[in-house]
Amino acid sequence: MSAYVLHVGAQVACAHQPGRASPPVGNPRVQVAGQQVVTQPSIYTVTGCILPTPPAANGPCATAVWSTAALRVRAGGIPVLLADSTATCAPSGTPLTVLVTQIRVRGS
């Protein structure tokens, strides 16, 4: 099955709304909807997470690492991220959710 390709302007959030996640950079050579695509090694930065600090919880989400990406679509030889790719936030261990992305280019 295919899913939409993520780009640097996609809205991505941690499980503790209104925390937003964003990539450091995209691939400068490949664009969708006029914005750079994001590849799997990208470590997202999370801001605005409301998860309490210890001892109430394990602290607000700070970063997120993607564990899955496209199997067949690559940019510069690296798998691109898709709307259904999975990521885990640190230190909470919760997932990221893709809220909005472009809806023209799909990958698998």
| Closest among 42, 44, 35 to 9, alpha carbons compared | 35
Over residues 19-28, the mean pLDDT reads 96
Compare 54 and 31 and report the one with higher pLDDT: 31
Yes or no: say if 107 and 70 are a contact pair by the CB < 8 Å rule. Answer: yes
pTM: 0.93
Residue 1 has pLDDT above 80, yes or no: no
The rounded percent of the chain whose pLDDT value lies above 90 is: 89
pLDDT in tens, 66-105: 999 999 999 999 999 999 999 999 999 999 999 999 999 9
22: its two tokens: 């964003």
pLDDT of residue 75: 97
Which CATH number is 3-107's, of 1.10.3470, 2.60.120, 3.30.70, 2.60.200?
Answer: 2.60.200
